[in-house]
A and B are shown apart, each in its own frame.
Chain A
């Protein structure tokens, strides 16, 4: 049940191509998160869906109808802006009713909708206030309320939490997730924060330089990143990448040369012996002081962060490659310690010299 479809969507500003042929199908009721580094085009893509940016090429359809030329208001969408874009001269009530009044909806119906949305968002007591009199979190709710009253088929969120402090961000994130569960509308959400992406999305779309690098459920992307970029972008702390060299392919996997010692990792692809590869291991998948698993070498600790629930050690391997290790609980580690580190073969990601995943 596709509700929104992008086909070969392009955006050009003069000679610069910002979005380079994006194809994407979004199902009804799905929560899709666009994520990527700044400048990747995720906001531009969202604004093209919203009707705020003209589409240079390709087709956008919503509910099976071509939307390229339709005005923003006629697309059945609502948008929550990064800055909230609340009308400063209107009360909260007016901010929420403005679009409905524009559509000449009967007063009684407007009132019903505004009060219901205010009720859902627990801002009923704020309806007479002006935006300036609200806290950041309250403004955020009004911005969402303005979207809700329109009863749109699709909600668009443009980095809506980036102006909130850390605590409120977590709280609002949970509320957006609950809102999605309650009203079941399609939601498209842009963020550069991969934690927001992982926690909110049914499906994550990772963008880089105007191209979709990978799309899938959060765990698919976490477990099987298709390239080195996605692997490095999703996950915190960042995945470690070690320079390795293919030695030989065998029935039980691929033997690689890691800092002088040969280790075998599972792989079905067979890179030529001698090819330079990159071995990716997430910091949280590294263990210390165990004899089982795949030995990665000895890590000389340079710096340790004690987070209480987690201990993060930064260090160097014998061949000076740097490495981050995230260990559960409180570990007695100090700078200067030498740790024997290992990981499970199932946690190894191999990428070729172009950054593509070597399947295993």
Chain B
């Protein structure tokens, strides 16, 4: 998108009078206070905590890299959480992208009722993060829940309790995430509208049929939007919390099958009060997200088409 252009400030640098300096810093003051007190300070503090045994009660003791070593070598629950989170990311993100793209392409055919469909598909993304929907999901996938009632009614099939079965529980949360493909779809729709109509006219004079137009024109021209969506969805998926928390009663169960990374982080910090160790976990997550984002940008030039 045009985010890069937006990152540049246009107006020239200026050494104007004291009045302007004062005005500038005056208007910026709330943000500046917030930046130092709530972002920079905490970031440094958290780096420091991560190398201590801080518990919130007693003063922190310096332990060096011990927390990080323990994460890497001596914490099976960390690896469980990694496993759960990566499974979730690698399943939910591609499925979401696929659904969002497919529905956006279908809606972009100039159908009647576009705005109604768009609203219907968007609604789940708007409410999906709330506790209420997680509660609903628990009901739907419970042993005597809506899904099993429907399965029983339609096929006479007695389904298991999807939520409390460790083989399925994670997939119900994946499904909940995929159910919220709406906002990605809206971004795809906006992207599809950016492709000029005469591109398709030129292609039809060049003899390209529908599928060739899709794969040779639509898809390549949409790659910046696909990339944007993929990066944002991936970051969001790594940070997923509420649904897993509510569905598993905050435990990450059954038997840690829904122990999302953020859930584990929460438990270590606010249940077990291991602030030092949890800070190290937080920085590991930051590094993982940063690594994935950096990798995305590195591979982008091989498949993303940029206009300029």
Residues of A within 8 A of B (CB): 50-52, 71-74, 77-79, 81, 83, 85-89, 98-99, 102-103, 132, 146, 150
Note all chain B residues with C-beta closer than 8 A to A99.
205-208
Q: Is the CB of B198 within 8 A of A72?
A: no
Using Cβ atoms and an 8 Å threshold, which residues of chain A touch B201?
50, 52, 72, 79, 81, 85
Q: Are B196 and A87 within 8 A (Cβ)?
A: no
Contact of B221 with A by CB under 8 A: yes
Specify the chain A residue showing the minimal Cβ separation from B304: A89
Q: Which residue of B lies closest to A80 (CB)?
A: B202
Question: B interface, how many residues as a size bin?
Answer: 10 to 19
Q: Contacts A83-B196, A98-B216 hold; do A72 and B305 have CB atoms under 8 A apart?
A: no
Q: Find the A residue at minimum CB distance from B305.
A: A89
> Are B307 and A103 in contact (CB-based, < 8 A)?
no
Given A81-B201, A85-B202, A87-B199, decide whether A102 and B207 contact each other with a Cβ distance below 8 A: yes
Q: Contact flags (1/0) for B46-88 with A, using CB distance below 8 Å?
A: 0000000000000000000000000000000000000000000
Whether A88 and B221, one on each chain, are in contact in the complex, defined by CB atoms closer than 8 angstroms, is yes
Our pick among A74, A77, A83 for the contact of B198 (Cβ within 8 Å) is A83
Complex Cα distance, B199 from A298, in Å, reads 57
- Of the candidates B204, B208, B308, the one whose C-beta lies within 8 Å of that of A132 is B308
Q: Is B217 in the interface zone, CB < 8 Å from A?
A: yes
B residues adjacent to A (C-beta < 8 A): 196, 198-199, 201-208, 212, 216-217, 220-221, 305, 307-308
Verify A102–B205 contact, CB threshold 8 A: no
A184 to B212, alpha carbons, bound, how many Å?
32
Give Cα A230 to B2, complex, Å: 47
Say whether, besides A85-B198, A87-B217, A102 and B204 are in contact (CB < 8 Å): no
Q: Are B205 and A72 in contact (CB under 8 A)?
A: yes
A51 touches B204 (CB 8 A): yes
B204 touching A89, Cβ below 8 Å? no
User: Chain B residues with Cβ under 8 A from A87's Cβ?
Assistant: 199, 202-203, 217
Interchain residue pairs with CB less than 8 A apart (13):
A52-B201, A71-B207, A72-B207, A74-B207, A77-B205, A79-B202, A83-B198, A88-B305, A98-B208, A98-B216, A99-B205, A102-B207, A146-B206
4 nearest A-B pairs in the assembled complex, by CB-CB distance? A73-B207, A99-B206, A85-B198, A85-B202
On whether the beta carbons of A132 and B205 are closer than 8 Å, the reply is no
Given contacts A85-B198, A88-B305, A102-B212, contact A78 B205 (CB under 8 A): yes
Say what secondary structure dominates the interface of chain B.
helix
Q: In the complex, what's the smallest C-beta–C-beta distance from B48 to chain A, in angstroms? A: 48
Closest to A53 in B: B201
B-chain residues with CB within 8 Å of residue A103 when the two chains form the complex = 207
> How distant is the Cα of A216 from the Cα of B305 in the complex, in angstroms?
48
Closest to B198 in A: A85
Among B207, B216, B217, B221, find the residue whose CB has the most chain A CB atoms closer than 10 A.
B207
**Given the complex, which residues of B lie within 8 Å of A85, measured CB to CB?**
196, 198-199, 201-202
Closest chain B CB from A13 CB (angstroms): 15
Q: Are A89 and B205 in contact (CB under 8 A)?
A: no
Shortest A63–chain B CB gap in Å is 17
Q: How far is the CB of A286 from chain B (nearest CB, A)?
A: 44
Whole-angstrom distance between the alpha carbons of A77 and B216 in the complex? 21
Residue contact B205 to A79, C-beta cutoff 8 Å: yes
For the complex with contacts A98-B206, A99-B206, A99-B207, 7 further pairs of A-B residues with Cβ separation under 8 Å are A71-B207, A73-B204, A74-B207, A79-B205, A83-B198, A98-B208, A132-B307
Q: Which residues of B contact A89 (CB under 8 A)?
A: 220-221, 305
- How far, in Å, is A67 (CB) from chain B's closest CB? 13
* Residues of B with C-beta under 8 A to A83: 196, 198
- With known contacts A85-B196, A85-B199, A71–B204 Cβ distance under 8 A: yes
Q: How far is the CA of A73 from the CA of B205 in the complex (A)?
A: 5
CA distance A338 to B305 in the complex (A): 66
Chain A residues closer than 8 Å to B307, beta-carbon distance: 88, 132
Selected contact of B205 from candidates A51, A86, A88, CB within 8 Å = A51
Chain B neighbourhood of A132, CB < 8 A: 307-308
| Nearest-CB residue, chain B, relative to A104 | B207
Distance between A2 CB and nearest chain B CB, rounded to angstroms: 22
By beta carbon, the residue of chain A nearest B212 is A102
Docked-complex contact A102 and B196, CB < 8 angstroms: no
Distance (whole angstroms) from the CB of A190 to the closest CB of chain B: 14
Measured between beta carbons, the chain B residues less than 8 angstroms from A146 are 202, 206
Task: Using A87-B217, A132-B308 as known contacts, say yes or no to A81 and B206 having CB atoms under 8 A apart.
Answer: no
- Please give me the residue from chain B that is nearest to A156 by CB atom: B205
Q: What residues of B have a CB within 8 angstroms of the CB of A50 in the complex?
A: 201, 205
Given A81-B198, A85-B198, are A102 and B208 also a contact pair (CB < 8 Å)?
Answer: yes
CB closest chain-B residue, reference A73: B207
Q: A88-B221, A88-B305, A132-B308 are in contact. Are A102 and B198 (CB under 8 A)?
A: no
